[in-house]
């Protein structure tokens, strides 16, 4: 039988040794239609298979592998995907390399320019991947699939982006059986109940991957049937929804949560835009049903909110934190974004002050912070950065995804040309003090030396921003 090899590309570096084990849900999603169409799919996940290089070499040299598929997104996985693709080409010239995922969708030319990638699939790949594998089998010229990109004798052919516009209930369940060891380790079953988001945040990948303000929700019946199927398969009744925003359709969310409660399921976590945390949903949530809840505030500054195209009702946020705290939910999370072009200390101070107000509600609330990471086609890059700064995007540059530089103590100035050397050091120091003040998990981690006293002595800018919090 002809085989398809899918490889997860996330391999944590030493500094990321605390990273959670995450299912390669994109690969599992395209595996399902391939299996239904008669192909034998092999999944190799370096997080589970420590001899992954041996397994990859064995697969491409001893089996009739039609293509090797990898999901790509901004971060170190790009280096891994490139290295694995180059390695495979040294072992078998005939095996085709196919990249998909958010990065490949937004930047297909960067994927194809070096010659080790044969095809790029843009957007959701469940439909097009079957057409592509049939084309590879027949080996007849260039593919005539609208959202597939490839190299020709004359250069690179960039296919149109593919924005799904059908019935998402027709998709097969992601083939979680290929990742059984991972499911057992995390003791939790991932469920995709929807795709996309109706919001239009200027930094979000959905604008280029799913489509601007597009959201597709599966039926309640279909979701519950999948949950029941995998519960019986794995003998696990703990789930989590990997949606970007599970809460958009309130009635749908309420029905799923109520039935989950009736069936004795637990939900590992719920995430969604603050605007979509409606009272009907909050009322159902209790610590016996939902373990973790969260929404990202991003910024308390109205000016930065407008830049992010994400307005936040601060008082509503504080009310919700109080409600979740009163319910004694295990983990409550929120997040703030910093390091944006045009950001001022006044903008930052507003977020510091709000974080302090949140911490006063419940010191267990995790108030996370991260640094803005520009991507080639996000709205901030297109509308603001490109007119003032040049960023030479490349796989190497975009692999420097340093959103939370606590352990590595590194930020890429090439990726953020609006930051000078003093700014880089400021944000490195700022993030460390932020986590000391507002996140008990990092503060208590013996492997992270925040060294706050030294930072405050050497960096007066950081000291001025946190002085009010530290002296209270």
Taking residue 404's Cβ as centre, other Cβ atoms within 10 Å add up to 16
Taking residue 293's Cβ as centre, other Cβ atoms within 10 Å add up to 25
**293: helix, coil or strand?**
strand
Taking residue 447's Cβ as centre, other Cβ atoms within 10 Å add up to 7
Asked whether the beta carbons of 265 and 302 are under 8 A apart, the reply is no
> Which pLDDT value is given to residue 438?
96
Q: pLDDT in tens for each of the 472 residues of the chain?
A: 789 999 999 876 544 444 578 899 999 999 999 999 999 999 999 999 989 999 999 999 988 899 999 999 888 889 999 999 999 999 998 999 999 998 998 899 999 998 899 999 998 888 889 999 999 998 878 888 888 999 888 888 887 776 777 788 999 999 999 999 999 999 999 999 998 888 888 888 777 677 677 888 999 999 999 999 999 999 999 999 999 889 999 999 999 999 999 999 999 999 899 999 999 999 999 999 999 999 999 999 999 999 999 999 999 999 999 999 999 999 999 999 999 999 999 999 999 999 999 999 999 999 999 999 998 888 888 877 767 788 888 999 998 877 788 877 889 899 999 998 899 999 999 999 999 999 999 999 888 888 899 999 999 999 999 998 987 7
Q: Strands (DSSP E) along 234-303, which ranges?
A: 238-241, 266-271, 290-294
Query: Helices 250-262 and 220-234: crossing angle, nearest 10°?
Result: 30
As given in the structure block, the two tokens for residue 303 are 């000016």
Asked whether the beta carbons of 168 and 221 are under 8 A apart, the reply is no
> Which pLDDT value is given to residue 363?
93
Taking residue 160's Cβ as centre, other Cβ atoms within 10 Å add up to 11
What is the Cα–Cα distance from 379 to 374, expressed in whole angstroms? 9
Domains along the chain with CATH numbers: 3-157 (3.40.50.2300), 184-470 (3.80.30.20)
In the block, which residue shows the tokens 């499911």? Answer: 183
CA dist list (Å): 309 to 182, 210, 287, 306: 37, 18, 33, 5
What is the Cα–Cα distance from 100 to 224, expressed in whole angstroms? 28
Instruction: Report the run of H or E that residue 59 belongs to, with start and end.
Output: helix 52-62
**401: helix, coil or strand?**
coil
What is the Cα–Cα distance from 422 to 2, expressed in whole angstroms? 56
This prediction's pTM: 0.92
DSSP state of 110: H
Backbone angles phi, psi at 31, to 5 degrees: -65, -35
Beta-ladder partners of 450: none
CA dist list (Å): 374 to 81, 176, 243, 289, 366: 20, 32, 22, 37, 25
Instruction: Report the run of H or E that residue 40 belongs to, with start and end.
Output: strand 40-44
> Which pLDDT value is given to residue 19?
56
Residues sharing a CB contact under 8 Å with residue 302, sequence separation 6 or more, in sequence order: none
């Amino acid at each position: 039988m002809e085989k398809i090899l899918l490889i997860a590309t996330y391999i944590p570096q030493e500094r990321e040794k605390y990273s959670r084990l995450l299912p390669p849900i994109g690969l599992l999603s395209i595996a399902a239609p391939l299996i239904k169409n008669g192909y034998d799919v092999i999944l190799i996940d370096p997080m589970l298979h420590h001899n992954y290089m041996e397994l990859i070499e064995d697969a491409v040299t001893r089996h009739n592998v039609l293509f090797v598929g990898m999901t790509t997104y901004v971060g170190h996985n790009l280096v891994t995907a490139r290295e694995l693709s180059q390695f495979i080409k040294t072992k078998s010239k005939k095996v085709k390399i196919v990249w998909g995922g958010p990065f490949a969708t937004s930047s297909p030319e960067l994927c194809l320019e070096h010659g080790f990638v044969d095809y790029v699939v843009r957007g959701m790949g469940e439909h097009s991947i079957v057409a592509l594998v049939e084309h590879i089998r027949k080996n007849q010229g260039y593919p005539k699939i609208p959202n597939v990109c490839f190299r020709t004798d004359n250069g690179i052919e960039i296919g149109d982006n593919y924005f799904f516009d059908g019935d998402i209930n027709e998709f097969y369940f992601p083939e979680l059986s290929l990742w059984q060891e991972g499911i057992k380790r995390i003791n939790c079953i991932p469920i995709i109940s929807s795709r996309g988001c109706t919001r239009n945040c200027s930094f979000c990948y959905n604008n280029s991957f799913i489509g601007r303000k597009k959201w597709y929700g599966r039926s309640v019946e279909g979701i519950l049937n999948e949950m029941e199927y995998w519960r019986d398969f794995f003998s696990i009744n703990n789930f989590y929804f990997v949606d970007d925003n599970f809460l958009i359709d309130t009635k749908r969310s309420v029905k799923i949560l109520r039935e989950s409660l009736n069936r004795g399921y637990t939900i590992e976590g719920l995430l969604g835009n603050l605007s979509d945390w409606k009272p009907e949903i909050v009322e159902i949530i209790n610590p016996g049903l939902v373990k973790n809840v969260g929404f990202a505030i991003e910024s308390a500054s109205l000016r930065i909110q407008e830049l992010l195209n994400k307005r936040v009702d601060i008082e509503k946020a504080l009310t919700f934190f109080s409600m979740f705290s009163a319910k004694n939910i295990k983990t409550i999370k929120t997040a703030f974004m910093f390091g944006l072009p045009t950001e001022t200390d006044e903008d930052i101070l507003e977020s510091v002050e709000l974080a302090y107000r949140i911490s006063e509600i419940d010191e267990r609330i995790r108030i996370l912070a991260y640094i803005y990471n520009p991507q080639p086609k996000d709205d901030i890059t297109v509308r603001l950065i490109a007119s003032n700064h040049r960023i030479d995007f490349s796989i190497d540059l975009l692999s420097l995804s340093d959103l939370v530089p606590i352990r590595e103590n590194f930020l890429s100035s090439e990726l953020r040309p609006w930051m000078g050397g003093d700014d880089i050091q400021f944000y490195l120091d700022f993030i460390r003090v932020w986590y000391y003040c507002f996140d008990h998990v990092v503060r208590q981690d013996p492997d992270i030396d925040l060294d706050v006293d030294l930072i405050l002595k050497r960096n007066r800018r950081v000291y001025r921003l946190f002085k009010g919090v530290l002296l209270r």
